[in-house]
């Protein structure tokens, strides 16, 4: 063990002068561990004045800079190490860590993580961090290769096992067989964690971080009924939450009768985003004589929308912390009710939902899948979107709100449709699918190909919202399917990746007909499409997530845009593609009826009454 004398900068200098490099490096590490970063920096600077090229001193100084959040200085120290020794992993690690902590895009960090994995092939942490970075840009095949390498080195690596079963091997399912493989792997992984003991001494300290590591985002995109699986995973999450943070199962103190109800809203995206477009009106619309409104951001990033909420609501918290600290802060705010906008969109939403932080806890449909945890009391849905027997799809009590169950104001869009301007006359009909590529399952390829084969006057635009390195995988899956139907994919299909919101709306509103995705339909995108008075053809799915557009068409009484099955979807798409007069008629009807979809005061009123009823009922007990 190093003594304070060993960590003295003069002692380190003497060791370096004598060529005792290993002893000097041990003393430098001891100095950094034993001191506050500011004090360690002063001591290490003294060493570097005598030995400016000491890589160990530069590396320890860089770690001090990271601890003090001086990211640029840490990055520059890493670059300095690189000039002295290009293959020294410490310099690359400093650069990667500094970029990540400064908020750099994962694509910028990925080459550094790849290089570190090459330099440290026997390091499970280096392999795992490569997996994490690859996953953030959608390179799931590379992620799984790195996870496999991690588990070869450390078969008990908890986080690698967790990530491996929750994430498919590709951003898009290459085939039905690949999708079934993911479901089977998911089942096996979930079953393995069912026997996991979160209280075991070997893992107890890591459970809180595991809760925050990965959300079960992808399973619902397979189109299957995920209810039983969500509940199975929910039991695991609750067991981990109770083990790591047992203080949040204690009862709540009674509050004085007659006080305004305090409602907290939690979202991973408390900024300009799809989720807040849907539900921001509910936050703002609760009557302030009856409610005090709090909002909690669960992911980094604020913008003008966040700042507007600060002015409009009673309290907005955007400062992040570890799970326990954030949970305690929320619980200390003593909300009567907590409403999650988007459980499943971010690991922090899942982790917090597994805790009891308010007497009544509910979720809205920002990610329209049951939470599976018994700590969420109610799923607040749309009465028009739910199929018969829908309660069976939820572990929570299903409480539908009127109409669409949201309150969207399209006037906030950065682009508005041109008034009284008919679509331009074109020789070819422009079809469009404006859904994220995740929603386009392999069976969707056949549907698109059949339509284009039967309607040779049409072209298709896919507004898939993905960067080029990812959309290429989707194209490679689709191209042979189209070829089998005699359709030249490259000539008749245009793939549009990440674009600005105005550019996206411009593309969308130039379409003659929009084709909805199967199993998971458009939500906000459908609302924005109808605002531009463009017809959408949909096939309602078996679950609420596949019935958003269907509900909107019911509101507008447009059954001719609702298909009965896949064959009927193809038939209607082909017929509408060849009938400009019918498309114009539908546009005109949408123009006169679309107001039914937006700024729904009845939804806000019903939401307020529901919150009051549910919270008062719990207070009475």
Give the residue-averaged pLDDT of 414-431.
82
- Residues 309 and 453 grouped into a single domain: no
Q: Specify the pLDDT at position 201.
A: 83
CB-CB contact of 464 with 542 (8 Å): no
Give the residue-averaged pLDDT of 605-614.
97
Tens-digit pLDDT profile for residues 520-535:
999 999 999 999 999 9
- Residue 503: pLDDT band with limits 50, 70, 90: very high
Distance, CA of 607 to CA of 279 (rounded, Å): 11
Q: Quick one: 312 exposed, middle or buried, by C-beta within 10 A (0-12, 13-18, 19+)?
A: middle
Q: Specify the pLDDT at position 94.
A: 97
The enclosing domain of 315 has a CATH number of: 3.40.50.11380
- Total structural domains in the chain? 2
Q: Specify the pLDDT at position 204.
A: 86
Radius of gyration of the chain (CA): 27
Question: What's the residue count for the chain?
Answer: 621
Q: Specify the pLDDT at position 4.
A: 44
Distance, CA of 167 to CA of 146 (rounded, Å): 13
| Within-domain flag for 46 | no
Going by their DSSP bridges, the two strands 513-515 and 429-433 should be labelled as parallel
Q: CB-based contacts of 355: which residues, under 8 Å, 6+ apart?
A: 241, 245, 248, 327, 375
- Residues 507 and 450 grouped into a single domain: yes
Give the residue-averaged pLDDT of 397-401.
98
The lowest-confidence range among 49-58, 327-336, 389-398, 414-423 is: 414-423
Q: Specify the pLDDT at position 409.
A: 95
- Residues 395 and 526 grouped into a single domain: no
Q: Specify the pLDDT at position 259.
A: 80
Residue 375, CA atoms < 13 Å, CB-side half-sphere: 25
Query: 332: part of which helix (H) or strand (E)?
Result: helix 323-332
Helix (H, G, I), strand (E, B) or coil at 88: coil
Question: Of 356, 375, 409, which closes a domain?
Answer: 409
- Residues 309 and 447 grouped into a single domain: no
- Higher model confidence: residue 318 or residue 34? 318
Question: Of 381, 409, 437, which closes a domain?
Answer: 409
Q: Specify the pLDDT at position 251.
A: 87
The lowest-confidence range among 327-336, 409-418, 513-522, 573-582 is: 409-418
Per-chain mean pLDDT for the chain: 94
- Note the Cα 403 to chain centre separation in Å: 26
- Residues 368 and 495 grouped into a single domain: no
Question: Of 345, 377, 409, which closes a domain?
Answer: 409
Distance, CA of 581 to CA of 303 (rounded, Å): 43
CB-CB contact of 262 with 341 (8 Å): no
Q: Is the pLDDT of residue 208 over 80?
A: yes
- Residues 266 and 326 grouped into a single domain: yes
- Residues 383 and 460 grouped into a single domain: no
| Domain encompassing residue 341 | 246-409
Q: Is the pLDDT of residue 6 over 60?
A: no
| Within-domain flag for 558 | yes
Q: Quick one: 603 exposed, middle or buried, by C-beta within 10 A (0-12, 13-18, 19+)?
A: buried
- Residue 420: pLDDT band with limits 50, 70, 90: low
- CA angle 282-350-373, nearest 5°? 95
| Within-domain flag for 145 | no
CB-CB contact of 109 with 99 (8 Å): yes
- Residue 427: pLDDT band with limits 50, 70, 90: confident
- Residues 502 and 560 grouped into a single domain: yes
Q: Specify the pLDDT at position 421.
A: 63
| Within-domain flag for 546 | yes
Give the residue-averaged pLDDT of 431-438.
94
- Residues 399 and 300 grouped into a single domain: yes
Q: Specify the pLDDT at position 425.
A: 72
Q: Specify the pLDDT at position 2.
A: 43
| Within-domain flag for 419 | no
Give the residue-averaged pLDDT of 308-321.
96
Q: Specify the pLDDT at position 254.
A: 78
Tens-digit pLDDT profile for residues 530-557:
999 999 999 999 999 999 999 999 999 9
Q: Is the pLDDT of residue 167 over 50?
A: yes
Q: Specify the pLDDT at position 619.
A: 77
The enclosing domain of 482 has a CATH number of: 3.40.50.2000
Q: CB-based contacts of 266: which residues, under 8 Å, 6+ apart?
A: 295, 296, 298, 330, 338, 339, 340, 341, 349, 352
Distance, CA of 310 to CA of 222 (rounded, Å): 38
- Residues 397 and 431 grouped into a single domain: no
Pick from 452, 455, 433: which is nearest to 492 by CA? 452
Distance, CA of 492 to CA of 459 (rounded, Å): 5
Residue 447, CA atoms < 13 Å, CB-side half-sphere: 25
| Within-domain flag for 462 | yes
- Residues 481 and 592 grouped into a single domain: yes
Tens-digit pLDDT profile for residues 243-286:
999 999 888 887 777 789 999 999 999 999 999 999 999 999 99
- Residue 418: pLDDT band with limits 50, 70, 90: confident
Q: Specify the pLDDT at position 255.
A: 76
CB-CB contact of 265 with 295 (8 Å): yes
- Residues 307 and 395 grouped into a single domain: yes
- Residue 76: pLDDT band with limits 50, 70, 90: very high
Query: 265: part of which helix (H) or strand (E)?
Result: strand 261-267
Q: Specify the pLDDT at position 410.
A: 95
Q: Specify the pLDDT at position 99.
A: 97
**Which residues are paired to 398 by β-bridges?**
379
Distance, CA of 135 to CA of 214 (rounded, Å): 11
Q: Specify the pLDDT at position 202.
A: 82
| Within-domain flag for 372 | yes
DSSP string, 430-466: EEEE-S-GGG--HHHHHHHHHHHHH-TTEEEEEE---
Q: What is the DSSP letter of 483?
A: H
Q: Is the pLDDT of residue 3 over 50?
A: no
Long-range contacts from 75-82, C-beta under 8 angstroms, 24+ separation: 75/99, 75/102, 81/55
**Terminal CA-CA length for the chain:** 58
**Which residues are paired to 493 by β-bridges?**
460
| Within-domain flag for 83 | no
Lookup: tokens for 99: 């970029």
- Higher model confidence: residue 137 or residue 181? 181
Q: Is the pLDDT of residue 124 over 90?
A: yes
């Amino acid at each position: 063990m190093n003594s304070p004398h060993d960590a003295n900068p003069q002692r380190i200098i003497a060791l370096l002068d004598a060529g005792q490099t290993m002893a000097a490096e041990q003393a430098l590490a001891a100095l950094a561990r034993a001191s506050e970063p500011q004090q360690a920096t002063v001591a290490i600077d003294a060493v570097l004045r005598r030995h400016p090229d000491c890589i160990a001193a530069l590396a320890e100084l860089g770690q001090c800079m990271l601890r003090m959040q001086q990211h640029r200085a840490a990055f520059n120290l890493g670059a300095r190490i690189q000039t002295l020794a290009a293959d020294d992993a410490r310099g690359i690690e400093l650069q990667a860590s500094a970029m990540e902590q400064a908020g750099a895009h994962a694509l910028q960090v990925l080459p550094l993580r790849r290089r570190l994995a090459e330099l440290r092939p026997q390091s499970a942490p280096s392999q795992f961090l490569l997996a994490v970075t690859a996953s953030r840009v959608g390179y799931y095949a590379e992620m799984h290769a790195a996870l496999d390498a991690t588990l070869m080195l450390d078969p008990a690596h908890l986080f690698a096992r967790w990530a491996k079963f929750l994430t498919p091997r590709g951003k898009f399912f290459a085939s039905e067989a690949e999708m079934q493989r993911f479901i089977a792997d998911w089942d096996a992984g979930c079953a393995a964690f069912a026997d996991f003991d979160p209280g075991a001494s070997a893992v107890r300290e890591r459970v809180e971080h595991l809760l925050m590591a990965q959300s079960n985002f992808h399973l619902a995109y397979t189109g299957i009924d995920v209810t039983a699986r969500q509940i199975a995973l929910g039991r695991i999450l609750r067991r981990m939450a109770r083990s790591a943070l047992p203080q949040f199962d204690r009862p709540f103190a009674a509050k004085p009768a007659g006080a305004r109800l305090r409602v907290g809203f939690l979202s991973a995206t408390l900024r300009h985003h799809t989720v807040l477009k849907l539900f921001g009106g509910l936050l703002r619309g609760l009557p302030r004589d009856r409610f005090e409104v709090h909002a909690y951001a669960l992911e980094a990033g604020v913008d003008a929308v966040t700042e507007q909420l600060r002015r409009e609501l009673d309290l907005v918290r955007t400062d992040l912390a570890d799970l326990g600290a954030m949970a305690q802060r929320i619980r200390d705010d003593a909300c009567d009710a907590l409403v999650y906008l988007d459980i499943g969109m971010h690991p922090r939403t899942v982790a917090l939902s597994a805790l009891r932080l308010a007497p009544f806890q509910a979720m809205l449909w920002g990610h329209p899948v049951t939470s599976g945890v018994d700590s969420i009391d109610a799923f607040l849905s749309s009465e028009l979107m739910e199929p018969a027997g829908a309660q069976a799809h939820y572990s929570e009590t299903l409480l539908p709100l009127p109409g669409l169950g949201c309150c969207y104001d399209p006037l906030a869009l950065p682009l508005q449709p041109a008034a009284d301007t008919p679509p331009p006359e074109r020789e070819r009909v422009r079809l469009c699918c404006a859904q994220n590529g995740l929603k386009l399952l392999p069976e969707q390829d056949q549907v698109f190909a059949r339509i284009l084969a039967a309607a040779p006057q049409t072209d298709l635009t896919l507004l898939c919202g993905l960067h080029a390195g990812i959309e290429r995988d989707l194209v490679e899956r689709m191209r042979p399917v189209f070829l089998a139907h005699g359709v030249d994919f490259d000539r008749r299909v245009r793939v549009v990746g990440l674009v600005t919101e105005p550019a996206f709306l411009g593309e969308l509103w130039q379409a003659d007909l929009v084709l909805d995705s199967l199993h998971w339909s458009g939500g906000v995108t459908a609302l924005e499409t109808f605002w531009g008075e463009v017809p959408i053809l949909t096939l309602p799915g078996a679950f609420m997530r596949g019935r958003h557009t269907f509900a909107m068409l019911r509101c507008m009484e447009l059954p001719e845009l609702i298909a009965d099955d896949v064959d009927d979807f193809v038939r209607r798409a082909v017929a509408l593609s060849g009938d400009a007069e019918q498309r114009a008629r539908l546009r005109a009807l949408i123009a006169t009826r679309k107001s039914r979809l937006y700024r729904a005061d009845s939804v806000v009123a019903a939401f307020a009454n529901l919150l009051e009823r549910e919270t008062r009922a719990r207070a009475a007990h």
